[in-house]
Amino acid sequence: MPGGNVGSRAAAGPCIGGRPVSLVLVIMPPPLLSLQDIHLTFGTTPLLSGAALTVSAGDRVCLVGRNGSGKSTLLRIAGALVQADSGRRFSQPGATIRYLPQEPDFDGFATTLAYVEAGFDDGAAGDRHRASYLLEQLGLTGTEEPSLLSGGEARRAALARVLAPEPDILLLDEPTNHLDLPGIEWLERELNGLRSGLVVISHDRRLLERLSRITVWLDRGITRQLDAGFAGFEAWRDTVLEQEDAGRHKLGRKIVMEEDWLRYGVTARRKRNQKRLADLHALRKKRKELRGAAGGVKMRAAEANLSGRLVAVAEDVSKSFGDKTVVRAFSTRILRGDRVGIVGPNGAGKTTLLNLLTGALDPDSGSVAIGTNLQQVTMDQRRDVLDPDLTLMQTLTSGAGDQVSVAGQTRHVIGYMKDFLFSPEQANTPVGVLSGGERARLTLALAFAKPSNLLVLDEPTNDLDLETLELLQELLGDYPGTVLMVSHDRDFIDRCVTSVIATEGDGRWIEYAGGYTDMLAQRGPVKTAAPVVQTKPKVEAAPRSFTKRMTFKDRHALETLPMRIAELQAHVMKLSKVLEDPDLYTRDPARFAATTAALDAARGQLDAAEAQWLELEMLREELEG
C-alpha cells in the first residue's frame, strides 16, 4: 500500500455488484526471532536442509519430530549456541532469549541460588527475590551444592534460571525430564501464566496439547508448520504423509522399502492404537463394574471372567524406612491382564510399592502372595543391560548369528529391528553411538523378545520420541500378560492402564479404576476431599476364613499344590491346542463338545487350586511373620 500510515481505518477496495467493499488491513507484529533456510551438516550427513522457525511475542510453538531429526540442534541455533552452515538467523535488538538445555552446566557456581541469579542481566534486588521465589516453588532452598543435586533437582534449578528473568522468548528442550507429576503440573501453570513466547520440545503429549498453539514438524531436514496446537498434529501429519505417498507413486519415484515402512507405517500404527484405546476404555468399564462394589461375591465373579489368574495379592501391607512410612496398610488384588499404573511425586515410594507387589521387597507388616508360574521382565531407564561395545545385531542375537528368538519363534534380526524403527543399515552400529531414544527402543526390543507374562516398567517413556511412544503403546496393547508401571507421563497412563494406584500422602495409597484423568475425576478437585476408601475391597481369596493355625492337611496341600497347578496348566494348554483346529467341529462334533467340556472343567479346577494355594500361602506368612 503506497504511502501513509496504516492504522485501524478501512482502505478503499474493489467493488462487488456496483458496491464498494472495505478491506481491513491487519498488520502482524514483526517476529522476535526468525530462522530462514537453515542448513547444517555433521560429517557427511545433512541434518538440516532448509529448516525455518519464526517466533513472535506470545507465540506458543511446539517443535516435534523423531529422535535424531535435529530438533535440539535447531533450538540451539535459535538460541545462538550453534552456528549453522548457511541460512539466516534474526532476533529483534534488545529481545531477551533464554534456552533450557537437557543437561545444565553448573560449573563455577557454589549454590543453586548463585546459578539461578546468573541468568539475569542486571542483578537487581527484585531479580534476587524472584530467583528465591521460584526455587522455593520448585522445592529448593537455594543453598544446595550443584554437584550434589539429583537429576530432578538439577532440572528444577535449570527451570528456575530460565524462568526467573521472564524473557521475551523461552526455548525449552525437554523441560519435564526428571520431573514428577506435581512438578510437571506446576510447570504447566507457570508457563501458561507467562507472556513470553515459547518454543517447546517435549515427549509429554499432555503438556504439548495444553500449551501449544503452533506446531512445527521437523522431518528429513525441513520444517512444516501447522497453525494449530499439538492436539491436531497427528491427523495433519497423516494427511501430509498420505498426500506425499500418493505423489510419490504418481511421479514414479522409487523409495527404499525400509524407509517407506518406517515413515508411512505411522498412519497405520496410529489407527490401530485408536482401536486399542477404545478396547481399553471398554476393559476399564468392565473392571469398574466387576470390582467397584465391596463383597466377596463380586470379587469371585471378577476372577471367573478373567480366567482366575491371580498375579499378586497384598493384604494390609506397610513399609517404613527409618521414621518415614512410605506404604501404610495397603491392600489390592492384581489379576492376569491388569495394567496398573503407580503415580505420585518423587520420594513418595512408587518404586517401593512396585517392589512390594512383585515380591522383590518384603513388607514390614501385612502379606503379599505372588501367583504361580510368573515369568517377569523388568525394564528401567538406566539401560544397564546394554553393552556399548556390541553392535545392535550382536545385542539382539547375543552374538549368535542373525536370528533372534521372539515369543518362542525364530525371526531374522533385520525384520525384528524394523519392528522397532531401526533400518537394516544400523545392524552393525555400535550401541555406544546410538541416541538416547534409539537405546530406549533397543531396550524395548530386548524386553519384548524375552518370554514373560508380567511386565514391570519403571519410567518407560524417558527419552522416547512421540512415534516411539506410539510403538510402545501398540506393543502393550498386544501384550497378553499383566503390566505394572511407574510413570509421570499422564497421557501415556491414560492410554495404557486399567487402574491407577495414587499416593494420598502419609504412606496412604488408593487404587482408582481407569487412567490418570479418571483418577483425578474420582479423587475430586481437592485432594483432602477424596474419600479414603479403597476402590477394590480387601482380599478374600476363598470362602473360608483364616483359622490362625495350619493343620497337617493344610501343610500337605501347600507343598503339593504347585505341582498340581502345573499339571492342570499343562492339561489346559493341551486341550486348548486341540480346539485350535478350525475343522474339528465339522469333522468330529462329539469330540469338540467333549473337549470343550473338559477344558471348562480343567479351568475350574485350576482356579480353585490357585485360590487355595494363595490362601494357604498367606496364612503361612501370617503365622510365621
* Sequence-ordered list of residues with C-beta below 8 angstroms from that of 15, at least 6 positions apart, any chain: 21
Strand boundaries in 266-323, DSSP class E = 310-321
Q: Could you tell me which CATH class the domain 34-108+162-231 is placed in?
A: alpha beta
Query: Residues near 43 by Cβ (< 8 Å), separated by ≥ 6?
Result: none
Strands 60-64 and 214-219, how do they pair? parallel
Q: Does the structure show a pLDDT above 80 at 359?
A: yes
- The pLDDT confidence band at residue 80, using thresholds 50, 70 and 90, is very high
Do residues 431 and 395 touch, judged by C-beta distance below 8 A?
yes
Beta-bridge partner residues of 222: 219
More confident residue, 58 or 555: 58
Handedness of CA 479, 484, 488, 491 (dihedral sign): positive
Structure confidence by residue, pLDDT tens digits, 41-53: 987 778 999 999 9
CATH number, domain 552-624, options 3.90.1150.10, 3.40.718.10, 1.10.287.380, 1.20.1420.30: 1.10.287.380
Cα–Cα distance measured from residue 408 to residue 423, given in angstroms and rounded to the nearest whole number: 24
Say what percent of the chain tops pLDDT 70: 78
Q: What is the pLDDT of residue 304?
A: 27
- Grid cell listed for 375: 515369568
Q: In the prediction, which pLDDT does 587 show?
A: 83
Alpha carbon distance 311, 572 (integer Å): 18
Query: Residue 236: phi, psi to the nearest 5?
Result: -65, -45
**pLDDT(309) > 80:** no
DSSP secondary structure letter of residue 605: H
Integer Rg of the chain from CA: 29
Per-residue pLDDT at 5: 39
For residue 242, the model assigns a pLDDT of 82
Q: Indicate the CATH number for domain 281-529.
A: 3.40.50.300
The C-alpha cell that represents 281 in the structure block = 476404555
Label residue 83 by pLDDT band (50, 70, 90). very high
User: What are the contacts of 42-47 at 24+ separation with CB within 8 A?
Assistant: 46/221, 47/73, 47/221
Cross-sheet strand order for the sheet of 365-370? 324-335, 310-321, 365-370
- The amino acid at 203: H
Predicted local confidence at residue 482, as pLDDT: 92
pLDDT, tens digit (0-9, with 9 covering 90-100), for 403-451: 888 766 788 999 888 888 888 888 889 988 887 778 888 888 888 888 8
Pairing of β 499-505 and β 97-100: unpaired
pLDDT for the residue 479? 85
pLDDT band at 261 (very low <50, low <70, confident <90, very high): very low
| pLDDT tens readout for residues 94-143 | 999 999 998 889 999 999 999 999 988 754 445 778 999 999 999 999 99
Sheet with 339-343, strands from edge to edge, namely 376-379, 454-458, 482-486, 339-343, 499-505, 508-513
pLDDT per residue over 374-400, tens digit each?
A: 888 888 666 667 888 999 999 999 888
Quick one: how many helices (H) and strands (E) in the chain? 19, 22
For residues 550-576, average pLDDT? 81
Burial class (CB in 10 A: 0-12, 13-18, 19+), 75: buried
Domain ranges for the chain, please list them: 34-108+162-231, 109-161, 281-529, 552-624
What is the reported pLDDT for 497?
93
pLDDT in tens, 272-303: 555 656 666 666 665 555 443 322 222 222 22
For residues 623 and 459, the model is more confident at 459
Q: Tens digits of per-residue pLDDT, 522-552?
A: 886 544 333 333 333 333 433 333 345 677 7
Tell me how far CA of residue 601 lies from CA of 71, 248, 571, 608, in angstroms: 58, 58, 11, 11
Query: Of 334-338, 565-569, 593-597, which has the strongest mean pLDDT?
Result: 334-338
pLDDT for res 41: 92
Residue 300 buriedness (CB in 10 A; 0-12 / 13-18 / 19+): middle
Is 90 exceeded by the pLDDT of residue 36? Answer: yes
Q: Dump pLDDT digits (tens) for 486-511.
A: 999 999 999 899 999 999 989 999 99
